[in-house]
Structures are given as structure tokens and as C-alpha cells.
Structure 1
Amino acid sequence: MRGESLAATGALIAGTGALPALLAAAAPGWRICEMEGFPSTVPGAEPLRFRVERLVPFLDALLDGGVKQVCFAGAMQRPRLEPEFFDARTAALVPRLIGALQAGDDATLRAVIELFEEWGFEVVGADTLAPDLVPGEGLLCGALTKGDEADATRAAAIVAALGAVDVGQGAVVAEGLCLATEALPGTDAMLDFAAAHRARLIRTPKSGVFFKAPKPGQDRRIDLPAIGPQTVAKAAAAGLAGIVFEAGGVLLLDRAATIAAAEDAGLFLWGRAP
């Protein structure tokens, strides 16, 4: 890849989900890059694809193309490394890469940021490219009860504890009881679990909250938590009263559609002060 002309001063390392397309629209001159096996949803893009096993040639190609800033967006799973694909320079990073991949998500992502910074790139967050995606404090729709506020407080404490050991960014609490917490399978799996089990645990037909927040001390330039219309649909299916997120710390994907979906489902959306 070395010597390939990128003709862009920024590179978007795009994964799956809605976020990459939103950021590509906000930064139309940026080059779209994809890790093999994890195609993005950026319409019309001709991405530069790379493998972790050939990370150094990929970084060199970005440098040679004049790239100065890099932004990571979208979901990616940890790849299975294939020894036969390693080039010599990337192979020298194997102990570091393996150690990072075996750590928690936040530790892994910090290691990724460090590598890109060592090559001289400025790593910027999604909120730098599209600050309007990060709502502040306040109720976006619906109404809160004292019980909802209490559930949100309980969920926030749980998420802070989970984040402190680099596990997850979300929890579901109803009537003070923790129904589910987010782990490696992700938000959708957590909400599906809550939907499957709440009937035998909670008597009130519509109660409880899903709370989402960054991990304590998380580097917010990468893996900033996000919610969107699908999150609303999953929360509604779980019988929840609303969704609570840390104000200034969560991406709201497709704001108008997410609010409309919450209103249609009778859910509140609340940006809670940290």
C-alpha cells in the first residue's frame, strides 16, 4: 500500500452501523478506510481496505497520502489474526497487538490510539467532526417520574462500576432492580435479554430505564457510546419507560428519527447530567 495517493488530509476508519455515514457526510473530503471483513455503510465510498496483520503498510500509506487526522467510527469485532499475512514490520508489533486484543475494550482502543499517534496522526473523536450528534443536558421528549429518576441513579452507579473494570457502557434497571448489564455482546443483546426476562421479574407493565454512558476515564476520541432508532425499538420491546444517557457523553444517531420513534413508543429520552 505504500506510495498510494489518498488525496485527503483526514481518514475515517469506518466500521458497521449508522455512524460512519453520518461522519462521512460531515467530512466529505476524508478518505474512508475499512478493516477487511467489516464493511462500512458509507454510500458511494471506495474504501481503502486493510488488515491488522499488515497494519504498518497501512499506516505508511496514510502518511504518504498526506493524512494528518484520523477518526474511528462504527462497530468492529476483534479480528482473528492470521500469522501468514503478517509483514515483517507489523510482526514486530505482535506482542503488543496480542496484549491489547486480550485486554478489555477500552484498553484495546487506547493501544490503537497510541499506535496511530506514534506514526504522527492526530486522533479525533466523532464529536469533533459532528458536534451536533452529542446532545447536552435535558429532556428531549416524554416525561419523568420520581421512580424513573431513582432507576436512572441506580443504573448510573452500576454503569460506573462496570466501566471501572472495562466491561460495558450500559445497564437496564426497573423498580430498583438491575435486569441486565452490557458486556461484549453489546447493547442490543442486553436489551433483548431484558425483554426476555422482565415479565417474570417485574410486575409493572411499563417501567424502568436503559442508561448509557462512557466508562469512567474513557478516552472519548474512540468508542463513544451511541443510541439511535433501533435502540428505542429495543427499549420499547423490553417494556421500559425511557432511555437515559450521560449528557455530553453519548452520540445520538439521527436525532429527529430517534426522538420521533421514542414519542411513538411513549418513551422518554433524557440527557442526565454526569
Structure 2
Amino acid sequence: METPNVAFANHNSAIDEGRVGIIAGQGDLPLTLAETLKNRGEMPFLLLVKGEADPEKYTDYPHEIIPITKIGKFLKALKREECRRVTMVGPVARPDFKNLFPDFEGLKLLGRITSAVSKGDDGLMRAITAFVEEKGFKIVGAHEIAQELLSTQGTLGANHPNEGDLKDINKGIAVIQALGEFDIGQAVIVRDEYVLGIEAAEGTENLIKRCATHKFEYPAGVLVKLSKPGQDLRADMPTVGPDTVRQAINANLRGIAIEAEASQIVDRDETIRLADEAGLFLLGTVVPR
């Protein structure tokens, strides 16, 4: 199965739409996005969520560190830096509401957050996204301003899934879609059509670690990761990268399947290289909606 060539849109029009503000949470994707924009001639401004994004990674970029509940500071910084487009990248842990000290804007948002996070994993980011948008900023997804991060359709790398793997992938897709209405996780691990684990609040990394206890002498399952039905991809698009592959290797998995055109790959070349060396397949699969 070959990966088709994908033509990406010209980015010059995006530059004319104003500076990009990146609200950065956990993981490597915020930095990858910043590097992509910088290499294209744009210098984004980063708002690092305190306790989530690692400031040491962003020393080469203009940034400010702000607690998640100080939304007024977020808004002032975005306005000061003339960021008309805003993207939220990287997961953010649910806050401890017993220890929250919001600013005035954060206080107005607090009621929404409290209600939203009780409804599932995506609630926090959706609430913040809607609030920021109401203040006059254009919310965009990382995939909308850096389409080169998107997974393409087909096998990515040298290794291919076999017939059994494809059955496991289809089972994983069905499980995630069935649980979508409950807003539970983006990932599942399936072996011989038996579900070893479903991602919940712990995230994909800890799902893989948990399923590593089911390792066998031969490869023990396939990781399937895709968006839930109705998920706002502007705030939380499924993402894999080199760390995902390393975790899959440690758990003795056979491969990783992600949704084509609706998932992002951090450091694509290194991700594929690691998978190829380990004999893992990477597959961008079309998901019926």
C-alpha cells in the first residue's frame, strides 16, 4: 500500500491573516508547530500554560507563561502581540478547582469550565476555545495552518499491516466510535480482535504502559488512535510521534493506525525511521463517518 502524494495549499494567504498565537499545553506538538511556522517565515507568539508546557523548550521563541485560569492575561498578551489567529495545541490537565484563583476574565469562564469538564475530556479546551473566539480572535486548528503535519492515507514507512492487523484496526475504530458519545478517549489497543485497553483520563502514553503488562512473545496488539465523533479538531487533534513509537516498541505492539487527514505526526521522518527499524507498521486509515 503506497502513500499517495498530497498537494498542500499555498501558505502565503495565511501569513496575511495575522500573527499566530499558540496556546501551548503538554507534548512536543506546540514546539513542532512553532518550528514549522518559523521555517516558513512566520514568528508565532506562544502562551505557555503554566505547569503543562515546558518553558525550557521555548527559549528561542517569544513566549509568556500563564496559569490556565488567568484568561485575562491570555487575552491581553494575544492583543499586545497582535495575534489575530489563535490555536490551542497539546493536552491540558483538568485543573484542581479547590485551588483555583482566576482573574476577572477567568472568573467569567470558570462556570463554563466547571460544567464543561464534567462532560468529558474535551470540555475544558472547548470551553476556553469558545470563550477566546467570543473575544474576537479567530480560532484555527494546527492542521489548518500547518497541513504538512497531517497524516496521509496509506502505509507510512516500510512495514505493512497483515490481514489480522486490519481486523484489529477495524475493531478499534468501531470501539472508539461507539464510545464517542460518552467522550471517552481517542485510542484503543486491540489484539486478535480482543480489546486490551481503552484510553480514558490517563492519556495515550499511560494506556500503552498499562497494556505493556499484556506483552507476549509475539507482537501483542495494535494501537488505533483517531478523533471521536463530533470532536472539535481545532482544539484537540489526535497526534503521534517518536515517543508514541518508542512506547509501542516497549509494549511489543505490531503497529499504529491513525486517521488519515485527521491526525497529526510530530517529527514525521524520525517517527517513520523508528517504526521501520523496529518492524512496526504506521498506517493512515480512512475512517467512515
> TM-score if structure 2 supplies the norm length?
0.84
- Determine the C-alpha separation between the residues in 2 that align with 1:92 and 1:44: 33
Confirm whether residue 110 of structure 1 aligns to residue 126 of structure 2: yes
Confirm whether residue 44 of structure 1 aligns to residue 52 of structure 2: no
Correspondence for 2:90: 74
**Does structure 2 retain, via aligned residues, the 8 Å contact 1:20–1:42?**
no
Confirm whether residue 136 of structure 1 aligns to residue 152 of structure 2: yes
> TM-score if structure 1 supplies the norm length?
0.89
Structure 2: which 5+ runs fail to align? 1-17
Q: How many equivalent pairs are there?
A: 263
Correspondence for 1:192: 209
Structure 1: which 5+ runs fail to align? 1-7
Of 4, 22, 35, 2:49 maps to 35
**Does structure 1 retain, via aligned residues, the 8 Å contact 2:238–2:264?**
yes
Residue-by-residue CA offset, 1:26-83 (whole Å, 9 max, x unaligned): 2232111112222333342342222233212431342344221101112321223466
Residue-by-residue CA offset, 1:146-204 (whole Å, 9 max, x unaligned): 111111100111111222210100000011100011111111111111111244xxxx6
**Does structure 2 retain, via aligned residues, the 8 Å contact 1:226–1:250?**
yes
Query: Percent identity at matched positions?
Result: 34
- Determine the C-alpha separation between the residues in 2 that align with 1:272 and 1:12: 28
- Determine the C-alpha separation between the residues in 2 that align with 1:34 and 1:227: 21
Residue identity opposite 2:91 in structure 1: A
Q: CA deviation at 1:84?
A: 7.3
Correspondence for 1:98: 114
Correspondence for 1:156: 173
Question: Which one is further off, 190-199 or 254-263?
Answer: 190-199
Of 80, 97, 103, 1:87 maps to 103
Residue-by-residue CA offset, 1:197-245 (whole Å, 9 max, x unaligned): 244xxxx612421101011111111111111111112112222211111
Correspondence for 2:30: 20
**Misfit runs of 4+, over 4 Å:** 81-84
Confirm whether residue 261 of structure 1 aligns to residue 278 of structure 2: no
Distance verdict in 2 for CA 1:93–1:222, change over 3 Å: closer
SS of 1:92's partner is helix
Residue identity opposite 2:229 in structure 1: P
Question: What is the RMSD computed on CA atoms of the aligned residues?
Answer: 1.9
